[in-house]
Chains A and B, each alone.
Chain A
Amino acid sequence: GQQLNQSPQSMFIQEGEDVSMNCTSSSIFNTWLWYKQDPGEGPVLLIALYKAGELTSNGRLTAQFGITRKDSFLNISASIPSDVGIYFCAGRQAAGNKLTFGGGTRVLVKP
């Protein structure tokens, strides 16, 4: 089936650092979404992108919909401890509302 390749798989952050993660696919998607999942919880939508080239911010989060419609990235600026969690990208194609998820980026705090 369709695959979304998300990288990095995990990363360590120090408070105040900026972090980036991205998602690529061999297929075109009409919508890109970024979710965060905390332990024991379901994913929560952070940002939704609907147009190629679109750059959208939500507080310290910024995400972009790649111009080829096959990729997206998420940036977190000035990270704080509560940014720890698993971030998932998800894509939606033209028909229907089915989401295809990436494998997730696990964000951890540097010891």
Chain B
Amino acid sequence: DSGVTQTPKHLITATGQRVTLRCSPRSGDLSVYWYQQSLDQGLQFLIQYYNGEERAKGNILERFSAQQFPDLHSELNLSSLELGDSALYFCASSPGTSGGLQETQYFGPGTRLLVL
């Protein structure tokens, strides 16, 4: 158990819909990262937050957005969903004591999203 929790574990929805994925980092961790893993592929970095502020952006679509709240939990919002958005979405956290640089990332169990 990494200490990172993600809800829901599974999500089934229809094209065009909007969903919110939630992540609670390890206790005390300030940095949160979101990754997308499509079928049988590696993880693609989407976005990083550090202490409530966006720190780095990867291959995140404009239809997707994220935020980190004062209690440090984070939400990833996916809108106008398409079939190709079906994937595993992982959240990771790191202590952030060095501004999130060069730190081990601990991954949550993921949310499996299926868009029908």
List chain A positions with a Cβ less than 8 A from chain B. 1, 4, 6, 30-31, 35, 40-45, 48, 50, 88, 90, 92, 95-104, 106
B55 surroundings in chain A (CB, below 8 A):
96-97
Number of chain B interface residues as a range: 20 to 34
Q: How far is the CA of A43 from the CA of B107 in the complex (A)?
A: 6
List chain B positions with a Cβ less than 8 A from chain A. 2, 4, 31, 33, 35, 40-45, 48, 55-56, 58-59, 90, 92, 94, 100-110
Checking B100, B102, B110 against A42 with a beta-carbon cut-off of 8 angstroms, the contacting residue is B110
Are A6 and B102 in touch, CB under 8 angstroms?
A: no
Are B101 and A96 in touch, CB under 8 angstroms?
A: yes
Are A41 and B109 in touch, CB under 8 angstroms?
A: yes
B42 surroundings in chain A (CB, below 8 A):
4, 6, 88, 101-104
Closest to B100 in A: A97
Are B109 and A42 in touch, CB under 8 angstroms?
A: yes
Q: How far is the CA of A45 from the CA of B104 in the complex (A)?
A: 8
Are B100 and A96 in touch, CB under 8 angstroms?
A: yes
B100 surroundings in chain A (CB, below 8 A):
96-97
Given contacts A48-B104, A97-B31, 9 further A-B contacts (CB under 8 A): A4-B42, A42-B4, A90-B43, A92-B102, A95-B101, A97-B48, A99-B43, A101-B43, A104-B42
Q: How far is the CA of A98 from the CA of B47 in the complex (A)?
A: 8
Are A101 and B108 in touch, CB under 8 angstroms?
A: no
Are A97 and B56 in touch, CB under 8 angstroms?
A: yes
B2 surroundings in chain A (CB, below 8 A):
42, 44
Are A98 and B110 in touch, CB under 8 angstroms?
A: no
Closest to A31 in B: B102
B92 surroundings in chain A (CB, below 8 A):
42
Closest to A99 in B: B45
A-B contact pairs, 10 of them (CB 8 A): A4-B42, A41-B109, A42-B90, A43-B90, A88-B43, A96-B56, A96-B101, A97-B33, A97-B48, A103-B41
Closest to B31 in A: A97
Q: How far is the CA of A99 from the CA of B35 in the complex (A)?
A: 10
B41 surroundings in chain A (CB, below 8 A):
103-104
Q: How far is the CA of A90 from the CA of B58 in the complex (A)?
A: 15
